[in-house]
Structure formats: structure tokens, C-alpha cells
Amino acid sequence: MTVDQFATLSLLAAVVVLFIWGRWRVDAVAMLALMAAFCVGLVPSETVFSGFGHPAVITVAAVLALSSALARSGVVDLIAAWIERFAATRFTQLVALSTLGGAMSGFMNNVGALALLMPVALSMAKRTGYSASLVLMPLSFATILGGLVTLIGTPPNVIIAQYHEQMTGHGFQLFDFAWTGIPMAVAGILFLTLVGWRLLPSSGQNRSEGDAPFDIDGYVTELVVPQGAKVVGKTIDDIAEEMETPPQFDGIVRGRTRVIRRLHRAQLQEGDVLLVHGDTESIEELVSKGFKMVAAKDLKAEEGGSPIDTDALAVVEAVVTPRSWLEGRTPALVALRARYGINLLAIARSGAPIRSRLRDARFQAGDVLLLQGARDQINETVRALGCLPLAYRNLSLEPRRALVPVLLFAAAIAATVTNVLPAAVALTFAVVLLVFLRGISVREVYEAIDWQVIVLLAAMIPVGGALETTGTANLLANAIASAAWTTNPHVILAIVLILTMTLSDIMNNAATAVVMAPVSVGLASAIGVSPDPMLMAVAVGASSAFLTPIGHQNNLLVMGPGGYRFGDYWRMGLPLEIILVGLGVLIIPWVWPFT
């Protein structure tokens, strides 16, 4: 082992550990790895920032922008409304949503596809009377599976295609992935709709079939004792005895001191803040007794303006997305009322209440927020916060606005399929034309692009190149081949699939593809077979993160609204990954022969 190979392995191990640790943003870790690779001489100065102009990075950015334009057009809302109208049972709704989500994810960002369909799924669950947890995880998995079908369906496919082009002079085309992707996506969705949802704990005794998508008792609410209130001098036990269904009292905050001991005997004083969680009726009953919701103060339309009429206020539920700038900040630091004119009423995390004061709780991706604000502005404000509203918007469809992005996207696909233009150029051309035709604004383009993914890709591509230039990829490949005790290509293919899936479950899928692509090619060389099936195995494995909520943004997005725990994902994800590995070992070599 050379010094460069040792340095590359050490750097790779450190990156994987930091990704798993999760305390630092993945893009920050990737940039740190890139700088470290440059400092030790693994990446030359002229190629340090070459990743920012890499076709894979440009393609991903263009797909994100086009996905946003399609979402804003209202076309998907029209289709979703049709499904909601005609899918009457839980099974038909699950089949319709999973199929639509998978189909959409083949041509648009799968996070965007889930964002469009999750409010529809929640609306259906509420109307039909079953727990939304039975459909949200299958919907998340279906949108991930849909990405297997096309080149632009998921970043790992773009990375694998570009790597293949660098290695052979020609890349995989738009629908080359469909030969393996369609059978595996169909099999996966069939499993999810027929068997998978039954494996979720919510289908048993943990939750009843009639549960609403969100239990309000999962929220923490703060109530203040105002001056002159009738409850002053009473204890919590006194108040609870007067109520038919009292909520759970979690604590009293007096000044900066939290009263914990003898909580139920403490006499209430003016200015005390109660931390409670319960259903809507119990909270309203407390308010009727003289308590006041801390956040529910009069909102000002503008500085110096008059209070907004109560009828003009709306309360919405929204989930904090993994790309939201709220993540890691507290409500006190964000100052939602002062900066955005909205009130934070409550927070739920994984279907359970937080135990700290609202102003001191740090937002996490997947948190469900209960927000109050001006009815005509709150949706835009939620979007500005980087959150996803969980109410079905039911947008009106404007034919011209809808037609422009659909036609331009179709034209870009046609230009890519016929090899008139490379995918990166065709898709970027479509975005530019869309801006000039006012199908999307420049600001909306920049908002649609997930810059965390872009920076991650741009930084990891040169680091991945160091694996190949230093010979580290071949070193790892030979070690894996020796450990396998066989040169049977089907066994090696299964190992590549399992190893890639495992990495993708604990770190970003794009980073997994960057790391595993050169290793898989080295394995193909070590056993003397074509690299094509190995690269396809990496593409499938990197897009098959089903065991944890941290492996894919979609899994994290449904964690809060579905009330899932970390360990719930493997119940349905493990058999799904086993099915995909079995199918992959059979289908991939048939479509892409070893010789």
C-alpha cells in the first residue's frame, strides 16, 4: 500500500464516519474532504473545483428546477384530485398513490414527487378514516423506487452514466436504466401495496384503524396565566378536577425556573407558563377557563398596522424538510412572529410531544409544526421557511402555465433520447427557455435547486476521482474479491448490491455512488467481466435506501407526519431490499451480460 493509497483510505473512512455521525451537514463534510484531499496532494489544484462544472451536477440542478416548474403548474394536483375522487378504499388509494409516485419519480426529483403527493395521502387518510402511517412510508419507498427507471430519476443514475462515459467514451442513455429499473420498481411497488404496509407497527395494536393522520395530543402547547385570571391561586389538580377530559400537564415555567417537584400542588401565579399536550377540546376548555396561548397573540398586518381579523387567520401543519434553514435553530432565535408575522403554536416530533419549551426546542428535519398566520400569505411563508405544508392545496389549473413546462420538459427528453443534445445541455436549455417564457422565475429556479446536494456532488466527484488515480479503488476491489472466496460474477454482483445498499442506508446516495463506482469497476476487472453490470448494481443499490430514515430525504420527510420511529423502517425495508437484491442478481446480468 502506497502513502497516497493509505491517505485516500483514511480520508474515505473519515468521511463515512462523519456522514454516519450526522452532526455536520453532508455538504460541509464533502467540502472538508475535498480540501483535505487537496492539502495532501490527492487532488491537483487544477481539478479541485472541476466538480462544479461536471455534467452530472448540471443535470441534477436542471432536473430540480424543471421538477419545481412542473409542480407549480398544477398538472400533478389535477391528477391527484382525480385519484382522490375515484380511489374509495385504502387499498385502491395506496395502489394509486404508489404507482403515481413511482411514475413521477422517473422524470422528476423524487423528493418533489413525495412533496406533491404527501398532502394528498394525508387528505385521503383523513377522509377514509385510517392511519396515515399505513400509506406514508409505502409512498416514500415508491417514489424512491421510481428513480430507478431513468437517467434523470435520481442523482446516482446520473453519476453512474457520467462515470461510464469517462471510462468508455459513451454513457448510459436516458432509458437504459429502464430495462432493470422497471421490473424492480414494479416488483417493489407490488410488495409495498400487497404485503409491505402490513408489516408496519401501526397496522397492529399500536394504532387503531380510525386514527386521524395527526393526533393533536402529539403536540406540545404553551398556555400562560394572564393578569387577573380566575385560575390564579389554583393548583393543576384543582383545574383537572373541573375538566371532563384534562390534558397532560408537563411542567410549569415561572420566570426562568421550571417547577418540576410537586407539580400538581404548585399554586398558579400570574405569568406562569404551562406546558401541556392534549386534544383540541381539552386545550380549548383550558382557554375558556382563562388561560391564554402564548403564541396566539394578535398578528399585525404590517408595522404600525391594525390587527388582522380572526377570520383572515389560518392554522396550517407543516413539516421541516432536510434542506430547511430552520434545522438546528430554536424558535426564539428564528423570531417567527417578528420576521414573518406567524405564530408557532405547537411542535410534534415522530408523533410524540417534545418536553422542552417551544422557544428553546431546536428544530429537526421531520418535525411537524402547527403554524398560525395570515391566510393569504401563510403558504408562501411556509415555503420561505423551507417547510412542506401538509394540507392539500388543490391549485387551480391554468392551461398556458401548465402547458409550457410540460412541453419544454418533453422536448428536453426527446432531444436526450435521440442524442441531439446531451442530457445536461438539453435540460438546462429547457430551464433557460422556461424562465424567458415566464413559466418559472429566476428566483424560483434558485429556490428549487437543492444546493446541499449540488455542493455535495461537486465536492465528492474529485474525491471519488482520487480513489481511481491513486489505485485505491483497485486495492479495495481486490480485497473484496479475496474476501468473497469466489470469482463467481453473480456472487460478486450480489456483494456489490448489498455493500452499496448498506452504505446508502447510512450516508447520502450520491456520495455512495461516487465512492462505489470505481470500486465496482475494479471488481469487474479483478474477476475479468464487463463493468456494465457492476455499475448498474451500484446505481440500483445507491437508490435503495430503505432501512433507515437518514438514508434518503423522503424517508426523513415522512417520519414526523407518519409518527414513525427509527426502527420502524427496517420492518418493511429489509424484505424490500432482499427482493431487490434477488431480482438484481437475476435481471442485471440478463440485460447487461458479464461478457
Do 326 and 283 sit in the same domain of this protein?
no
Q: What is the mean pLDDT of the chain?
A: 83
Q: Is residue 101 part of a domain?
A: no
**Structure confidence at residue 508 (pLDDT):** 83
- Cell 424538510 locates to 321
Same domain (yes/no): 315, 382: yes
Amino acid letter, residue 542: A
**Residue 406: inside a domain, yes or no?**
no
With beta carbons less than 8 A apart as the criterion, state whether 374 and 314 touch. yes
Helix-then-strand count for the chain, H and E: 25, 10
Instruction: For 452-508, give the DSSP string.
Output: HHHHHHHHHHHHHHHHHHTTHHHHHHHHHHHHHT---HHHHHHHHHHHHHHHHHHS-
pLDDT digits (tens, 9 = 90+) for 267-277: 888 888 887 77
315 in the same domain as 383: yes
Rounded to whole angstroms, the Cα distance separating 407 from 399 reads: 12
Q: Which set of grid coordinates corresponds to residue 210?
A: 380510525
**Same domain assignment for residues 224 and 268:** yes
Helix (H, G, I), strand (E, B) or coil at 296: coil
Residue 99 domain-assigned? no
Same domain, 315 and 288: no
410: in domain: no
Q: What is the pLDDT of residue 366?
A: 83
**pLDDT of 133:** 84
pLDDT less than 50: residues of the chain = 203-218, 296-310, 395-397
Contact indicator for 147, 106 with CB cutoff of 8 Å = yes
Give the bridge partners for 253, in sequence order.
258, 273
**Separation between Cα atoms, residue 445 and residue 447, nearest integer Å:** 5
Range of the domain at 375: 310-389
The answer to whether residue 315 is domain-embedded is yes
Residues 286 and 341 in one domain: no
Residue 329 within any structural domain of the chain: yes
In this prediction, residue 351 carries a pLDDT of 61
In a domain, 591, yes or no: no
Sorted by sequence, the CB contacts under 8 Å of residue 529 that are 6+ apart come out as 489, 594, 595
> Of the candidates 177, 155, 84, 117, which has an alpha carbon nearest to the alpha carbon of residue 388?
117
Q: Which of 293, 326, 342 is the last residue of a domain?
A: 293
Give the number of domains in the chain. Answer: 2
136 contacts: CB under 8 Å, gap ≥ 6? 118, 121, 122, 558, 561, 562, 564
Residues 6+ away with beta carbon under 8 Å from 204: none
Considering 366, 389, 412, which residue would you say is the last residue of a domain? 389
Instruction: Say what the pLDDT of residue 212 is.
Output: 41
Please identify, among 389, 410, 441, the residue that sits at the C-terminal boundary of a domain: 389
355 inside domain: yes
Tell me if the pTM is above 0.85: no
CATH number of 378's domain: 3.30.70.1450
Contact indicator for 537, 106 with CB cutoff of 8 Å: no
